[in-house]
């Protein structure tokens, strides 16, 4: 299980997230409001993107990267990624033949190079075929990373000739995973292979059940830690900076906090069982009662301790039972994980909504109080 959260840790994470929670984008980066205005001016808010608009998605990705502490160029890549379209979907809000100078003028040379790479790389081959499905456990990772490097090199040669192999490795940090659409692609095994084709019955926005995308993300994290390690070894062997035309020396490779700093892989079996137990707990509480709900939520967390929402729901169950110390522990853990992810796993509520609700639970647990009437629950809202 992940380590418990201390109050100073929680407060540090919350302070980093607060400008996003309050919509004070200028406090994140004084350029950010104008950059968002640029995206609005070219219609990003009018483009559909899975759970909302393309603009929502771009800001969400920027927020995640910023909370993870990655370099500014990568954050800006996240804010403008797919702006020239990409290998999955047409989102060309800037003309790829004429718009690069425009984007470069807004985000700078380093970020625009990452954005361009993200848009032209064949991600289906790069991510799904080469990085995710050629190994079954951590002992196989090193060998298949070498295979992946060969494939990366081949893909690079197929789409552009000027990028150095080491620069390609650095830039994989900006190749952000897309969330799987389970019904469309028959992702019932949780492996996110995009192999199905159930286009007719995938009615949006679905039933709200969390998707089965976490196994692939955990595997990408494991691959990424190996890339970081190889980069460290390369730096030791080549202490002098290389040519600026071949390597993005200034871009630090930062390991995200998720999956215990990308040191754990979530198996597909555990992912599915944990998700289904969580859904059983939240949907059948009237049938199972609070004790039964708590039991399935705890079983869910044993299978998948890497997401915050089961902790949050369990915290509310404990509050309803007057188990305030246990409620505070679960709510604090849920809050930490939600802040670290920067994005909700259970998308029935926004990330901001989950954070606010979780903070209410923490506050009430510290006060050793919880409403005993329906109106009392409805009146909850103020967060101190």
Q: What is the pLDDT of residue 84?
A: 92
Q: How far apart are CA 275 and CA 341, in angstroms?
A: 17
pLDDT band of 251, cuts 50, 70, 90: confident
Give one DSSP letter per residue of 325-363, joined into a string: HHHHHHHHHHHHHHHHHSS-SSTTS-HHHHHHHHHHHHH
Q: Is the pLDDT of residue 132 over 50?
A: no
Q: What is the pLDDT of residue 106?
A: 97
- Give residue-wise pLDDT tens across range 93-126: 999 889 999 999 999 999 999 999 888 877 655 5
Q: What is the pLDDT of residue 16?
A: 95
Q: Tokens in use for 215?
A: 């196994």
Q: What's the whole-model pTM score?
A: 0.82
Cα–Cα distances (Å) from 200 to 184, 196, 197, 315, 317, in that order, read 8, 12, 9, 39, 38
CATH architecture of 269-378: Alpha Horseshoe (1.25)
- Give residue-wise pLDDT tens across range 300-348: 999 999 999 999 999 999 999 999 999 999 999 999 999 999 999 999 9
Categorise residue 57: left if φ over 0, alpha if ψ from -120 to 50, beta otherwise. alpha
Residue 92 backbone phi and psi in degrees, to 5: -80, 85
List CB contacts of 362: < 8 A, sequence separation 6 or more: 315, 328, 331, 332, 335
pLDDT band of 86, cuts 50, 70, 90: confident
List CB contacts of 209: < 8 A, sequence separation 6 or more: 275, 279
Q: Is the pLDDT of residue 173 over 50?
A: no
Closest by CA position to 13, among listed 313, 337, 344, 310: 337
Q: Which residue has 């004070």 as its token pair?
A: 24
Closest by CA position to 254, among listed 280, 276, 232, 279: 232
Q: Mean pLDDT in the chain?
A: 82
Q: What is the pLDDT of residue 172?
A: 38
Helix axes 32-41, 100-107, angle to 10 degrees: 160
């Amino acid at each position: 299980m992940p380590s418990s959260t201390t109050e100073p840790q929680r407060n540090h994470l919350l302070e980093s997230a607060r400008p996003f929670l309050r919509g004070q984008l200028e406090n994140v980066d004084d350029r950010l409001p104008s950059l968002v205005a640029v995206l609005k001016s070219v219609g990003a808010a009018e483009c559909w993107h899975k759970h909302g608009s393309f603009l929502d998605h771009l800001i969400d990705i920027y927020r995640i990267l910023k909370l993870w502490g990655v370099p500014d160029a990568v954050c800006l890549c996240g804010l403008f990624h797919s702006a020239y379209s990409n290998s999955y979907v047409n989102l060309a809000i800037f003309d790829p033949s004429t718009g690069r100078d425009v984007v470069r003028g807004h985000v700078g040379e380093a970020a625009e190079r990452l954005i361009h790479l993200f848009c032209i790389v064949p991600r289906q081959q790069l991510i799904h075929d080469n990085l995710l499905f050629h190994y079954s456990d951590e002992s196989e990772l090193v060998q298949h990373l070498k295979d992946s490097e060969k494939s990366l090199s081949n893909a690079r040669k197929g789409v552009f000739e000027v990028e150095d192999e080491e620069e390609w490795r650095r830039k994989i940090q900006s190749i952000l995973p897309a969330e799987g659409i389970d019904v469309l692609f028959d992702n019932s095994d949780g492996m996110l292979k995009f192999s199905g084709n159930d286009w007719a019955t995938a009615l949006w926005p679905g039933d709200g059940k969390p998707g089965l995308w976490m196994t692939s993300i955990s595997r990408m994290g494991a691959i990424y830690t190996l890339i970081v390690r190889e980069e460290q070894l390369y730096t030791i062997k080549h202490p002098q900076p290389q040519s600026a035309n071949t390597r993005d020396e200034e871009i630090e490779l930062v390991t995200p906090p998720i999956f215990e700093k990308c040191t754990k892989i979530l198996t597909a079996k555990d992912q599915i069982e944990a998700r289904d137990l969580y859904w059983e707990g939240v949907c059948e509480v009237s049938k199972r009662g609070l004790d039964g709900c708590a039991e399935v939520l705890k079983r869910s967390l044993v299978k998948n301790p890497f997401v915050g929402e089961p902790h949050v729901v369990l915290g509310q169950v404990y509050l309803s039972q007057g188990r305030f110390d246990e409620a505070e522990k679960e709510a604090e853990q849920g809050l930490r994980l939600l802040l670290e992810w920067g994005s909700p796993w259970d998308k029935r509520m926004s990330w901001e909504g989950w954070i606010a609700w979780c903070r209410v639970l923490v506050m009430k647990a510290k006060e050793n109080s919880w409403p005993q009437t329906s109106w009392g629950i409805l009146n909850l809202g103020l967060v101190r």
